[in-house]
Chains A and B, each alone.
Chain A
Amino acid sequence: MNQFLQQLINGLSIGSIYALMAVGYSLVYSIMNFSNFAHGSVIMLGAYFGFFALTLAGLPFALAFFVAALSAAGVAVLLERLAYKPLRDRHAPFLYFIITAMGASIFIDNSVIATIGPTPKTFPSELLPSFLQSGAIRIGHVDVGRIDLAMFAITVVCLVALVLFIDFTRLGKAIQATAYNMKASALMGINPGFVIILVFAIGGALAGVAGVLYGMKYQVFPQMSAITLKSFIAAVFGGLGSLPGAMLGSLLLALIETFVSGYLSTQYRDLFSFIILIAMLVIRPSGIMGKTAEDKA
Chain B
Amino acid sequence: MEYIQGIAILIGINLIAVLGLSILTGFTGLFSFGHGGFMAIGAYISAIVTARLHLPFALAIIAGAVSAGLVSIFIGRLTLKLKGDYFCIATMGFGEAVRVILNNIDYVGGARGWESLPQLTSIWVVLGLDIAAVIVAWNLINSRHGRNLVAVREEELAAQMAGIDVYRHKMIALVVSAAMAGIAGALMANYIQFIRPTMFNMAKSTDLTIMVIFGGLGSISGSIVGTFLLVSLPELFRNFAQWRLVIYGLAVIVIMVGRPKGVMGGFELTPSGIRKSMAARRARLALEAEARALEREDLA
Contacts and interface: CB of A to CB of B under 8 A. Distances in A.
A270 B96 contact: yes
Interface in B256-291: 256-257, 260
Interface string A191-229: 000000000000000000000000000000000001001
Interface in B28-73: 29, 31
Interface string B233-249: 00000000111011011
A114 B97 contact: no
Given A83-B253, A103-B249, A282-B90, A296 B83 contact: yes
Nearest to A105: B249
Interface in A66-89: 83, 86-87
B85 interface: yes
Contacts of B260: 90, 92, 96
A110 B246 contact: yes
A57 interface: no
A103 B90 contact: no
A147 to B, nearest CB: 28
Contact of B246 (A34, A107, A285): A107
A281 B252 CA distance: 28
B97 A275 contact: yes
Interface in B67-106: 78-79, 82-86, 88-90, 93-94, 96-97, 100-101, 103-104
A295 interface: yes
B250 A103 contact: yes
Interface residues of A, number: 46
A264 to B, nearest CB: 12
Contacts of A54: none
Nearest to A281: B90
B209 interface: yes
In the complex, which of the residues A87, A102, A293 has the most CB atoms of chain B within 10 Å of its own CB atom?
Answer: A102
A229 B93 CA distance: 10
A274 B249 CA distance: 26
A34 B85 contact: yes
A280 to B, nearest CB: 9
A96 to B, nearest CB: 5
A233 interface: yes
- What's the dominant secondary structure at chain A's contact region? helix
B210 interface: yes
A111 B244 CA distance: 10
B226 to A, nearest CB: 12
B206 interface: yes
Contacts of B250: 103, 107
A94 B86 contact: no
Contacts of B242: 110, 113-114
Given A87-B256, A278-B78, A95 B100 contact: no
Contact of A114 (B78, B93, B156, B246): B246
A94 B84 contact: yes
Nearest to B254: A103
Nearest to A282: B78
Contacts of A297: 83, 156-157, 160
15 contacts: A83-B256, A92-B256, A99-B210, A100-B257, A102-B206, A102-B252, A106-B248, A109-B249, A113-B245, A229-B96, A267-B100, A277-B90, A281-B82, A281-B90, A297-B157
